[in-house]
Structure 1
């Protein structure tokens, strides 16, 4: 990591003062000082806005690098997402609006959602699933995916959701890594009007997955696919055979809620473990005070529940707030580039939380499509997944927000579980800057010696104090967990480079490790390289991320061929297809280059930064350790 002077823009937009007056957080600076004065008291006050079956005794215990939050508190996240609301005025409020790719719609009130969750929870129990067992969920973005997640939380089962775009090898690694007892899937997903079979991918992934006792299948196709009666069960038939009442399991605050696998830099994906109490408090807090969700809102996060954004800000945080959420399995440009704006008009969506990749795609189509629709229901815009570049900010602010709406550009990670840095509602917005650390979070930017860098100088972003929704463990890999807390003075290393200005606003510059963010998805270089090397023609492979105007980054692969193989267009297509069926379409390189050698250190480590710098025409930096 090198520390560079970064030229920072001073441009800012001042929001209408009424936004601050009406926001849940009316004075971010005052709230931040309250946190600094009494950190535990700050989090205690937030926790008391939720319901506990048994009150916690101590806010936190911190024994580096392990934290426990809300000690001895007993609660249930499903109860707080559902039962807590139906006891009051939200009983018949819509919890979920769903829009299918084919134009069909569905809605579920909080009462109806609770009934579905309870029956499916009992169905899981009938399959032998109990507290502490792991359930893998491999489904498209449909209400049943949320029902399955909440049902697991209700009975104390640990869910591990896998994005439905992953291929069989990636799915197999996640099923076996988590030791899933049951896998929940759908027969197919629908994308751009096309049916994409999921069950055949799962069937291949289940080979040698000895932990799996049962598969539950949501059958949407006609005629219905046949099931292996002893091993496979229909999603709704399982529910119909189950009792309608299921009391929530009393969960200790530190009991695991879910495992979510994120791409690793050493080949195997990492199973990030989040626990019940702290994650619940963190996602509730940020859904309320960052996203400013109100009872009157229709809220849309455009992510997929297969990623942490979907966990935290489609499912748990908004439902803890009693929000009406909108979800869709459709894509942003099908059947045309106006479909998302049509949804906003149709459902009266007031908060839109999306990715810079989508914003840049819409920029390419211009203002024609959004201008066809009435977007006046919108009151807040949000960005997530990667840095929001200034040009995308400007388009989002002026074209969609009409030069009036606040934009909360959020920085956080799978490991943090919740927002960490943003511009809170009512604060001045600066294009290109995420903002300041939110109340409750203490960060710094340091050089390679661990010393804080001055404004305008880039450095490594670190988090200096624990927070409630922090990762508790990497599943079956304590050594990897400890690496997260290997920063200066035992801080959390975020593996992101950043710079801040004189006012403390933080700009995220990108990853400092071997992860590539493509269209908001974290892709591990090692996973793609492993898939390439698994092909009989490839001896070695190296993968780098190259900036892309639309996707943020694209994947460029360099390969050395084995003896007896020669470079042909057909071989390159075979390699791309091999990655596609192994990891899924999101991990397919945009280009494969056949080379005679790769830059390596004397110890044999591939120097990806040299490949990337050469490709971009940049200075590759220190080459003293290169072999040749």
Structure 2
């Protein structure tokens, strides 16, 4: 749609308030970590706050095309911040608040973000996360590498008693929370309190009109090379696609209350917490907490509290809650539910059936969504195909590589600062096709079943992780000479990390070393990448050319001795050693 002029913030707020006359409609019910922490915000109030924060950003020198890093929990200010960036034509780069300081630094440097927006701290269940401390560490690393971030805006989240919805002149009920004295460090001249800047900001801000193909945001995903790649989406196509898929995939109606449990730090959260629902004038739930706190019925309590009609979550959450039986679900009504959805990873039949029979009481259809095609039948304009290793299209029932034969509005446009990597990653393997990186099976009814990653990637609880990135973090430890990481089935996460480490001379494999390695990965990447298994590997199975045979390592990780063709292994004795050491794996 190049040549068309628009602004996505105008479309999801100004248009809804002024043209659709929905200013008094609730945009978000916010539910905090504790059940008593609640507030709500209308479309009109959200528009005022976004205009105010847009003016704050303008005063800090942010202009169209600039990049802004956002490192925040699931609070209303996160939505305000991303929409304010979009209003100015600046690119937001949201970094999941579960990522480490190192990961945040890497993403700030890659896209040259001049400004960071973060929070003092937040609770995840009973765990306090001092986010400002992590942000400070990341900014110090940036300075050491010659890139000083000029401004850090901090939301006083846990330190506030009553801020309504961000200290604006708002009629929203205040967040009910006891004030917590959070000790944080302060960098004079760099750090600024959100609420103080907002007090001085005007509540009107003309949107920056953008070409439909101007970039909207960068979202970093793990790359198979170990270096995260910044996926770029553009204004017009992305807006059209999330608005349309939200409307039709979830059968949206004006009276619905929609709840997507994904964190905004992931593409599902960008699309179905913020942009898709707001573009349709929907009322949504924004949830800061976790499914098991303060008890394992939290999700269903929230469903009843807000009369949620459309509920969208991940198979990991479903498998987690299945362990606690039916009673925590069935003790709540859930009568409002009409449509259920799952996203982010393949769902196993047991979890699907429990979701349908127990959560949906056998009356709610389930949409199994995969963000590139949206549903198990392709969405409008999406043309999938299944290819074999030779690049030939397979008809009827088939299994192979999932590819797309033509572009669709929501297709990513490039990798930030590296278009060559974009072309190599998604188009080079099978010229003329977009390669998703997933394996796929088509059954006799024409349904597409996503079978999992076919490159060097892992899908852990719906989070894509690069084996190379984890291996790189392992070998930075002085005791590790070489590392290889593969996936291992996990009853809750779907997949977990199984790591093989070859030690340097003079070092001994021990529980202490294992904990050090796990700590190193948490610090380098984040808690989501913590391995479940670390195995001592005196050697790794390699081809004669030196390539690690991950196929063999996956078999060893699962104690499966049916290894298939081993003719290319340089040293078969390594495999016998690994099976022996597997029995001694420290978890």
* Fold agreement, TM-score > 0.5: yes
**What's the CA shift string for 1:398-449, capped at 9, x where partnerless?**
111111111000012xxx4xxx141xxxxxxxxxxxx211121001011001
Give how far 1:621 is off.
Answer: 4.4
User: Does residue 1:247 correspond to 2:206, yes or no?
Assistant: yes
Partner of 2:464: 522
User: Does residue 1:284 correspond to 2:221, yes or no?
Assistant: no
Give how far 1:461 is off.
Answer: 0.5
1:247-326 to 2 correspondence within 5 Å? 247-326=206-285
Unmatched runs of 5 consecutive residues or more in structure 2: 160-179, 572-587
CA distance in 1, matches of 2:378, 2:568: 37
Partner of 1:497: 439
CA distance in 2, matches of 1:509, 1:546: 14
CA distance in 1, matches of 2:298, 2:308: 13
Give how far 1:487 is off.
Answer: 4.5
What is the SS of the residue equivalent to 1:305? coil
Q: Among 558, 569, 572, which residue is 2:500 paired with? A: 558
CA distance in 1, matches of 2:25, 2:374: 31
Contact 1:267 1:530 in 2 (8 A): yes
1:92-131 to 2 correspondence within 5 Å? 92-102=24-34, 103-131=36-64
Give how far 1:489 is off.
Answer: 4.6
Of stretches 272-281 and 613-622 in structure 1, the one that deviates more from structure 2 is 613-622
Give how far 1:193 is off.
Answer: 2.9
What is the SS of the residue equivalent to 1:490? coil
Give how far 1:170 is off.
Answer: 1.1
Contact 1:515 1:525 in 2 (8 A): yes
Give how far 1:614 is off.
Answer: 2.4
Give how far 1:480 is off.
Answer: 1.4
User: Does residue 1:581 correspond to 2:532, yes or no?
Assistant: no
1:148-547 to 2 correspondence within 5 Å? 148-209=81-142, 210-220=147-157, 221=159, 222-223=180-181, 225=184, 227-412=186-371, 416=372, 420-422=373-375, 435-483=376-424, 484-547=426-489
Contact 2:222 2:465 in 1 (8 A): yes
CA distance in 2, matches of 1:358, 1:270: 27
Of stretches 607-616 and 580-589 in structure 1, the one that deviates more from structure 2 is 607-616
Q: Among 67, 78, 92, which residue is 2:9 paired with? A: 78
**What's the CA shift string for 1:370-400, capped at 9, x where partnerless?**
1111100111100000112111111111111
Contact 1:455 1:499 in 2 (8 A): no
CA distance in 1, matches of 2:518, 2:68: 31
Give how far 1:600 is off.
Answer: 2.1
**What's the CA shift string for 1:93-133, capped at 9, x where partnerless?**
00011011122101000000000111011101111111000
Give how far 1:226 is off.
Answer: 5.3
Partner of 1:52: none
Partner of 1:54: none
Partner of 2:22: 90
Residues 403, 570 of structure 1: alpha-carbon distance in 2 compared, 3 angstrom cutoff = same
Contact 1:462 1:487 in 2 (8 A): no
Residues 620, 273 of structure 1: alpha-carbon distance in 2 compared, 3 angstrom cutoff = farther
CA distance in 2, matches of 1:555, 1:284: 35
Partner of 1:596: 538
CA distance in 1, matches of 2:399, 2:449: 9
What is the SS of the residue equivalent to 1:229? coil
Give how far 1:239 is off.
Answer: 1.3
Give how far 1:609 is off.
Answer: 1.7
CA distance in 2, matches of 1:226, 1:207: 13
Give how far 1:623 is off.
Answer: 4.0
Q: Work out which structure has the larger RCO, using CA pairs closer than 8 Å and 6 or more positions apart in sequence.
A: 1
What is the SS of the residue equivalent to 1:273? strand
What is the SS of the residue equivalent to 1:82? helix
Partner of 2:165: none
CA RMSD of aligned residues (A): 1.4
TM-score by length of 1: 0.84
CA distance in 2, matches of 1:607, 1:116: 54
Residues 460, 238 of structure 1: alpha-carbon distance in 2 compared, 3 angstrom cutoff = same
CA distance in 1, matches of 2:303, 2:207: 35
CA distance in 1, matches of 2:542, 2:267: 34
CA distance in 2, matches of 1:234, 1:215: 9
CA distance in 2, matches of 1:522, 1:235: 32
TM-score by length of 2: 0.90
